Amino acid sequence: MRMYDLIYTKKQGGALSPEQIAFWVRGAADGSLPDEQSAALLMAICWRGMDTEETLALTLAMRDSGQRLDLSSIPGLKVDKHSTGGVGDKTTLILGPIVAACGVPCPMFSGRGLGHTGGTVDKFAAIPGLKVELSEAEFLRSLRETRFANSAQTADIAPADKKLYALRDITATVESIPLITASIMSKKLAGGADALVLDVKCGPTAFMKTLDEARALAQSMVAVGTAHGMQIRALITRMDAPLGWAIGNALEVMESVEILRGEHGDSELAQMSFRLAAEMLIMGGAARTLEAALSTVRASIQDGTALATLRRFVALNGGDALALDDFRRLPQPGQIIEVRADRAGRVAAIDGRALGLLAMDLGAGRRDRKDVLDLGVGIRLHIQVGSKIEKNDKIFTIYTKRDAQVASAEFLRTLDVLPEIARERPWLLETVNC
């Protein structure tokens, strides 16, 4: 087989066979094929696309480039969730313990944050002592004993994705639906779950800016999962303003625990987390209807079993479970600064991307993959879209460690304040089934 022929076929708009795709992925991962040829094929795929069979073949070849987790020793259907990422998205910390408490095993591998978006691994790392990189044996023990396991993706999972992603990053080929699909789904399939709920974020703060883009990605991932025989469903959710009141790792742990305690039950964050959890319960066979699943979810909050599951998960994996009840045990910032409104009106929009970047500048996120985070710093929002504000009202609290000159104007610029606004902003935009 010659790599030249694969590039030529795709350049002309033809389809690649599973054998050709497997040949490419193996050669890219083991270094036997030159990067220039992989880069050329990536660009051809970007322009010409791939059909579902090709995308599935690429997904499976990437999955098979590394280790696959065998979860068959854990009884029941195992259900995972993936979010395409946003600002303030801490739904995994909330729904993982809920789903586990309701009887469905929930194995999850998470990423670290980069740029304006946060990562679940960093949020869990804010719990003192909690091990966020679990060995296979530790992952399985956590799943067996608490029904919840969360670990950073290890280098052994889909290593071909790491190689190809690095090439995509420098060749402007990240934005391709089949390449994104294969990248995400290869890691999810290697994780070994039986079913998957996707939270595809849509909006100016998300990877997918328009509903058409988000729908295309959701349909592609659902088609690949279904073709592989996996139960899979996608929710397309709005991502413009930050999700919830907290941006920053320790702050996001606090907000998640508050929701598990039963606070902020009507917030968009709680509703979204509960809905995703309910979808997972249906897939795991713990409920038949959405209504029944949502009432099981709410019961796990009311009777304290969801929070108790998070405590057990933290304690089992070396973390300080007392920090979930006493937030003074979480990483603290050095300074607290208040930002107050410079005018009155209604908050018409909050620029989540800009706030995510400001949080990154405080040290809550990474500009570069090697950056070390300040886990205690971040931003607390005292407003949401629709809030009525008066001049001098408290808008943000900034938690910072640096001697940073926090320029209030920069934070206030993230708000659009109008005299009056129309407020109809559903968080759930669409669902995509097979």
Residues that bind ligand URA (CB under 6 A): 174, 180, 183-184
Q: Least distance in Å: CB of 165 to ligand URA?
A: 6
How many CB atoms are closer than 10 A to CB 318?
14
- The residue annotated as part of the active site, out of 168, 233, 312, 366, is 168
Catalytic status, residue 187: yes
Closer CB to ligand URA, residue 50 or residue 180?
A: 180
- How far CA 161 is from CA of 11, 164, 169, in Å, comes to 22, 5, 12
Closer CB to ligand URA, residue 143 or residue 180?
A: 180
Closer CB to ligand URA, residue 3 or residue 217?
A: 217
State the Cα torsion 142-93-236-152 to the nearest 10°. Answer: -50
Q: Least distance in Å: CB of 181 to ligand URA?
A: 8
CA distance 46 to 174: 8
Q: Least distance in Å: CB of 67 to ligand URA?
A: 17
- The residue annotated as part of the active site, out of 82, 201, 275, 346, is 82
Q: Least distance in Å: CB of 163 to ligand URA?
A: 13
Q: Least distance in Å: CB of 353 to ligand URA?
A: 16
- The residue annotated as part of the active site, out of 89, 122, 161, 374, is 161
- The residue annotated as part of the active site, out of 63, 163, 187, 353, is 187
Closer CB to ligand URA, residue 180 or residue 286?
A: 180
Q: Least distance in Å: CB of 121 to ligand URA?
A: 13
Residues 6+ apart with CB under 8 A from 44: 7, 10, 11
Closer CB to ligand URA, residue 98 or residue 184?
A: 184
Catalytic status, residue 161: yes
User: For tokens 């959701």, what's the residue?
Assistant: 218
Catalytic status, residue 122: no
Count CA atoms closer than 13 A to 10's CA, side-chain side: 25
Report which residue's Cβ sits closest to ligand URA.
183
**Phi then psi dihedrals of residue 40, to 5 deg:** -65, -40
- The residue annotated as part of the active site, out of 110, 151, 183, 256, is 183
Closest to 80 measured CA to CA, from 71, 174, 89: 71
CA distance 228 to 51: 14
Cβ 118 vs Cβ 89: under 8 Å: yes
Closer CB to ligand URA, residue 180 or residue 330?
A: 180
**Phi then psi dihedrals of residue 431, to 5 deg:** -120, 150
State the Cα torsion 314-318-323-325 to the nearest 10°. Answer: 40
Q: Which residues are catalytic?
A: 82, 161, 168, 183, 187
